Structure 1
């Protein structure tokens, strides 16, 4: 029964970790920054996203080989690494918060784009697959980019607006 819904154990892990990432990523965005809760939920988000991306590279049912969603997983992996590494190395990266803010926010936007695309394609006939994916991804990315830009002044001080590596 479960394999007909999820197609495989990998699909089930992918879905469960994606749901966890959506919940944790949303909480991290909405809660106060820099707190112990923010950090713990953030580490949970990173772990969930690692699972999402690793399992994405194990799923080939749609195209039979490496496809556009695997490329999206590569970009997702880059945003996760680009957001967590500066935070872990903040002692050595003077503008770490700049990298952390933009990469992590784009990570969550990408996750929401994938969510909307995946959800909406299930509501439309398969012949509308690509238009639905493109519109859902484009609209989510546009709105996410606007929000990231609008709120950057709240989270980034003027001295951290330009990334500079410490010596």
Structure 2
């Protein structure tokens, strides 16, 4: 299953798998702790490696205007921007202690994680390599599966982000005093 993967795709796969586990751990743990910061930093690094490692890979689906870049490379840009905004927001929060910067950090990284899950589950739902599906007979079937998986994950992400992160005090997940030491 993995023997024919290029080194870049193998790096992409390994760091994405790590980021899925690290991201889940971050969402489940208390925020503002040393553990949260350490795992969060490793998530950021893993995600940057994940997105950077796929940039040089030639598109196999929907190349853009005859280049080696394709439709799915657009998501690399989205992932990079989401991570960058999330990092910028936490740095701003650390210098200003303005709760809205903390909220922005939480929201951007939640969308980063949602995008990671969308990419991973899309691969599982559309790529026969992962032994979840049989090869599609038509591109229409491929795109329906792709759209359905992504729409479901995105809808769940929007619901959770809007009901859990976008409202209320962004400090509510912090243990007393840990946030002040960040």
TM-score, scaled relative to structure 2: 0.79
Please give the residue correspondences for 1:45-64 in structure 2 after superposition, counting only pairs within 5 Å. 45-63=43-61
User: How far apart are 1:92 and its partner, in Å?
Assistant: 4.1
Asked if 1:150 is matched to 2:155, the reply is no
**2:39 pairs with one of 38, 41, 48:** 41
Do the aligned partners of residues 85 and 2 (structure 1) sit closer, same or farther apart at CA in structure 2, a change above 3 Å counting? same
Contact 1:17/1:51 (8 A) holds in 2:
yes
Q: Which structure's CA Rg is the greater one?
A: 2
Asked if 1:125 is matched to 2:135, the reply is yes
Corresponding position of 2:18:
20
In structure 2, distance between residues paired with 1:138 and 1:104: 19
82-91 or 31-40, which deviates more = 82-91
User: How far apart are 1:51 and its partner, in Å?
Assistant: 0.5
144-153 or 109-118, which deviates more = 144-153
Structure with more helix by fraction: 1
Corresponding position of 1:161:
none
**1:104 pairs with one of 88, 105, 109:** 109
User: How far apart are 1:130 and its partner, in Å?
Assistant: 1.4
Corresponding position of 1:71:
74
After superposition, the CA RMSD in angstroms is 2.0
User: How far apart are 1:12 and its partner, in Å?
Assistant: 0.4
**1:134 pairs with one of 143, 147, 150:** 147
User: How far apart are 1:155 and its partner, in Å?
Assistant: 5.2
Corresponding position of 2:176:
none
Contact 2:90/2:102 (8 A) holds in 1:
yes
In structure 1, distance between residues paired with 2:35 and 2:72: 32
